[in-house]
Amino acid sequence: MATLTPRTRLLLVLLSLGLCLGLAVTGWLIYRAQALPEVQGVVMGRAAAMPEFTLTDHRQEPFSNENLQGRWHLLTYGFTHCPDICPGTLAAMASVVRQLEQDGSPYDDLDLLFYTVDPERDTASALADYVPFFHPRATGLTLNGHVYNRFEAFERSLGIVYEIPEFDRFGEPYPDDSYPVNHGVKVYLLNPGGRLQAVFEPAYSEHGMVHFSATTLLRDYLRVRQHLDG
């Protein structure tokens, strides 16, 4: 049987250590690629495609999947008569953009979208009087002028939920133009390919009120962007 020289044994040990180190580094890189950032919500392991759609923006121009290309977007939904949750959410989203602008962030390629679930009242002109107040980069979107059922897939793909009740708690019909809208509260992050990248969830106050913190929303947005940059 051949006897290994000390030099050969050393070489084999070094090769073994190199192999183990290589496997460890490869495993760490795979884990890092698969591990999603921790956010207040859900980050998609693979961004989800959006169905084809065409809406009307607050400038009375068509807004479709093509308008999502090349920029990141934060999207939320609600209605302009909403007394607190909707303006609070839009204010938090606008604060994120302002902070990115102020910091000169490389992740400042971000626009804002507000999709109304009350198209009967929220026409393009109504949105024009409401949405730009929060930030010049904010765009209001409505179904106005389009057939509603074409957008069931759009709403379903984002998990948009809402209800427009016909009667008040006393069983009386709501007067025209003064009805409430019960709706969910989420902020969606769409990537420059027009795909859903993350869904951010609100926090709850000690009194059970839902709200978005601008600080948390900015943190989570940056975590997603930095994760994707590797």
Residue-level pLDDT at 29 = 43
Q: 101: domain range?
A: 38-228
82 is in an annotated binding site: yes
Give how many domains the chain has, as a whole number.
1
Q: Kindly state whether residue 72 falls inside one of the protein's structural domains.
A: yes
Residues 98, 108 contacting (CB under 8 angstroms):
no
Q: Kindly state whether residue 14 falls inside one of the protein's structural domains.
A: no
Taken in order 63, 67, 71, 75, the sign of the CA dihedral is positive
Q: Kindly state whether residue 27 falls inside one of the protein's structural domains.
A: no
Q: Kindly state whether residue 98 falls inside one of the protein's structural domains.
A: yes
Classify burial at 84, counting beta carbons within 10 Å of its beta carbon; exposed 0-12, middle 13-18, buried 19 or more: exposed
Residue 67 has pLDDT above 50, yes or no: yes
* Percent with pLDDT over 70 in the chain: 82
Cα separation, 146 vs 195, whole angstroms: 23
Size of the chain in residues? 230
Give the domain CATH number at 173. 3.40.30.10
Q: Kindly state whether residue 22 falls inside one of the protein's structural domains.
A: no
Query: 4-8, 52-56, 147-151, 196-200: which has the highest mean pLDDT?
Result: 196-200
183 is in an annotated binding site: yes
Q: Kindly state whether residue 32 falls inside one of the protein's structural domains.
A: no
Q: Kindly state whether residue 7 falls inside one of the protein's structural domains.
A: no
Who's near 179: CB < 8 A, 6+ residues apart?
164, 165, 166
Which tokens is 130 given?
């409401």
Residue 32 has pLDDT above 50, yes or no: no
Q: Kindly state whether residue 26 falls inside one of the protein's structural domains.
A: no
